[in-house]
Structure 1
Amino acid sequence: MPDPIEVNYEPDGDDWQVTVSGRGKRLVSKAPGLIAARDRADQLVDKLAPEEKFRTVVHLLNGDALQFTTAYLTARLAKPTEPAPTPAPRKGSEDATRLRPPAS
């Protein structure tokens, strides 16, 4: 079984630098945001070992796989920054409520 391929992520301002190492090669790229960086890493791994159907890839942030996993899941599961729009009340719904006869 070949050695695992390592993917290192480094923040670079608003972007992320992605470095993929393995099989005697090293590929480097940048992406806007951690989710895009993770997608870019998959593309680089495909370039690095295109003939391998099954391969082990270790994703690292500051040399730590758990730190990467935590940051990636936080980014993936983050709620949108803008609140969802609230539906406007239907026209006439307020009037219809006031005009109903009392329940007997």
Structure 2
Amino acid sequence: MSIPSDRQSEVPVTTVEHLADDAVIVDIREPNEWAAGHAPNAIHIPLGELPSRLDELPDTDDTVGIVCRSGGRSSRAVAWLTQQGFDVANVEGGMRAWQSAGKPLEGEHGDAFVL
């Protein structure tokens, strides 16, 4: 899944302000990042597993937000997923922006801490 950096600027984008607190988003971070804190209804599919787990993407008529820690990895994932025909958007600022906006977080070990 290699996308040239000049193509990454063309990917669809959304902001955490445009997502409901209970939005279903796809979190592509690594397992340790996920465990530190994630959106309550997020689906965890690490970036490296994304090509083999496409069937786990939400089946919805709405655009699906794709999130990582700060937006870089998710931008590459969105570029690739868009090429595969999926209606997805990069969550600008990633989970850092989610946390900064005061959106709810869940953690695997009690308190959630993303930053």
Q: Who wins on radius of gyration, i.e. which is larger? A: 1
Higher strand content, 1 or 2: 1
- RCO greater where, 1 or 2, for CA within 8 Å and sep 6 or more? 2
Which TM-score bucket, shorter chain as reference? under 0.3
